[in-house]
Amino acid sequence: METEEEKFDALIDADDRIEPTDWMPENYRKTLIRQIAQHAHSEIIGMQPEGNWLTRAPSLRRKAILTAKVQDEAGHGLYLYGAAETLGTDRSELLDLLHAGRQKYSSIFNYPTLTWADIGAIGWLVDGAAIMNQVPLCRCSFGPYARAMVRICKEESFHQRQGFQIMLTLANGTDAQREMAQDALNRWWWPTVMMFGPADADSPHSEQNMRWGIKRISNDDLRQKFIDATVPQAELLGLTIPDPDLHWDEERETYDIGEIDWDEFWTVVGGNGPCNDDRMATKVGAYNEGEWVREAASAYAIKQAARAKEVAA
Ligand code: 3HC
């Protein structure tokens, strides 16, 4: 008689999906809750840098596009909290962990958005990197996460395109606009390269998560795919990647880049980046101010359930 663990291993080996009602190793559950929760936190915190520009968008059309994008990110967070909850956790627990600094969100959202070009750079680079990282997650072994990613990836393509279009408009604009676009690229390039996570050799989770079919492509390989796809786009924009060591390696048919500043990465991940305090203060403040909304929504849900019971009786 096959044990539960043998059934789980057979599903993983057959590249099948693990569903919430299937038996799973406790560490499989734990690492999924960790990753999905931090992914969800990233989507929600990621609304802040772009949200800062909603009232300053240069046209009604740009404001409408940015509003749609920021709303999408909120929805991505809700899908992902929903996927995490199928593993037996509760989003209020996950938010408590985030607010207490015991769960993370992506390093990339701890940098300031200083000009409108930053909104273009975020869409073009950050959402471009997110697509690289999230498309393989559509094949994640855990069903609810993979299915949430399919929906999210469809919306990410719009996010990346609108960002690239902002950069194209600025790069083809006045000298001042072109300089603004180049300045944004100079500030967002390296933090985006870092957001793929530590080098494979320094990644404590990669080996096990790749064995479990959670991580399909390694941090370094995804980083390289992003760089190889994005450098030609920068050339098309007429902008310069801020890396004097960047060069095409004929033999390997890929770009070599300069040294990544891992001290900066771990400083930001450790909570000491340019905007960490501000992001968390805004997040906790909004959560506390929104207490009445959560209370009203649950009171209404209780009332509706009682009414449905009366009608059914
Ligand atoms: N920012 C903050 N922490 C990071 C990080 C980053 N960019 N990259 C890695 N870390 C953390 C990991 O969470 C882990 O810490 P933990 O044990 O406390 O969780 C530690 O550094 C070691 O990293 P590993 O590579 O070993 O960890 P993973 O195997 O989990 O890989 C990951 C990290 C690639 C981010 C993976 O978790 C993942 O693919 N997550 C899902 C995608 C995601 O979260 N993307 C974040 C951005 S969301 C986004 O871009 C939204 C878009 O709409 C803009």
- What's the CA-to-centroid distance between 282 and ligand 1, angstroms? 21
**One-letter amino acid for residue 270 of the chain:** G
- pLDDT, one tens digit per residue, over 14-49 is 999 999 999 999 999 999 999 999 999 999 999 999
Q: Is the dihedral of CA 65, 67, 69, 75 positive or negative?
A: negative
Contact in structure between 259 and 246 (CB atoms under 8 Å): no
Q: For 246-250, which contacts have Cβ atoms below 8 Å and span 24 or more sequence positions?
A: none
DSSP 103: S
Length of the chain: 313
DSSP annotation of 248 reads: E
- Verify whether ligand 1 is closer than 6 Å to residue 130 (CB atom): yes
Which atom in ligand 1 lies closest to the alpha carbon of residue 38? Answer: 44
Ligand 1 pocket check for 48: Cβ under 6 Å: no
CA of 219 to the centre of ligand 1 (A): 9
Residue nearest (by alpha carbon) to ligand 1 atom 22: 203
Alpha-carbon gap, residue 20 to 24, rounded angstroms: 9
Tens-place pLDDT, residues 168-188: 999 999 999 999 999 999 999
Which pLDDT value is given to residue 98? Answer: 98
Stated pTM of the model: 0.96
159 Cα–ligand 1 center, Å: 20
Q: Is 101 exposed, middle or buried (0-12, 13-18, 19+ CB in 10 A)?
A: exposed
Q: How far is the CA of 310 from the centre of ligand 1 (A)?
A: 47
Q: What is the pLDDT of residue 313?
A: 85
Closest-lying ligand 1 atom to the alpha carbon of residue 204: 26
Nearest Cα residue to atom 21 of ligand 1: 197
Is residue 104 within 6 Å of ligand 1 at its C-beta? yes
Residue nearest to atom 33 of ligand 1 (CA): 197
Atom in ligand 1 nearest the alpha carbon of residue 36: 41
Q: Ligand 1: does its nearest atom lie under 6 Å from the Cβ of 42?
A: yes
The ligand 1 atom at the shortest distance from the C-alpha of residue 196 is 34
Which residues in the chain land under pLDDT 70?
none
- With H, G, I as helix, E, B as strand and everything else as coil, classify residue 76: helix
Q: Please provide the distance, in angstroms rounded to a whole number, between the alpha carbons at the two ends of the chain.
A: 46
Is any atom of ligand 1 closer than 6 Å to the C-beta of 85? no
Q: Whose CA is nearest to atom 41 of ligand 1?
A: 39
- Answer yes or no: is the C-beta of 198 below 6 A from any ligand 1 atom: yes
85: number of CA atoms within 13 Å, CB side?
A: 11
- Tell the residue nearest (CA) to atom 9 of ligand 1: 197
Q: Could you give the 3-state DSSP secondary structure of residue 134?
A: helix
Could you tell me the distance, in angstroms and rounded to a whole number, from the CA of residue 197 to the centre of ligand 1? 6
